[in-house]
Amino acid sequence: MKLKKNIATSAEGFIFNPGTGDSFSTNPIGAEIISLLKEEKTPPMIIDTICAKYDIDPIQFERDLDDFKSQLVDSNILD
């Protein structure tokens, strides 16, 4: 998973794709995932980071991360 280079984001979860002019917003965990993607963290690293911070079940979060990834691909946010 790699965030496109031209994607603008904010810590509050606002995402803007200047290539399409589309903008999106996400919840705080989604914003953290986007931040971790900007740091080029791998999915296993993202899972470890989020699950440790929020005491979330890794198996459930992995499914949620896959769903979020699909939404980002559909929105042309990921390469």
7-58 pLDDT, tens digit each: 999 989 999 999 899 999 999 999 999 999 999 999 999 999 999 999 899 9
Could you read off the pLDDT of 58-69 as tens digits, one per residue?
999 999 999 999
Position 1 in a domain: no
pLDDT at 5: 86
Q: What CA–CA distance (Å, rounded) separates 6 from 19?
A: 8
Position 37 in a domain: yes
> Do the Cβ atoms of 18 and 8 come closer than 8 Å?
yes
Position 3 in a domain: no
What residues make up the domain containing 61? Answer: 8-74
Decide the pairing of beta strands 14-17 and 22-25: antiparallel
pLDDT at 11: 87
Q: Count of domains in the chain?
A: 1
Position 61 in a domain: yes
- The percent of residues above 70 in pLDDT, for the chain, comes to 100
Position 79 in a domain: no
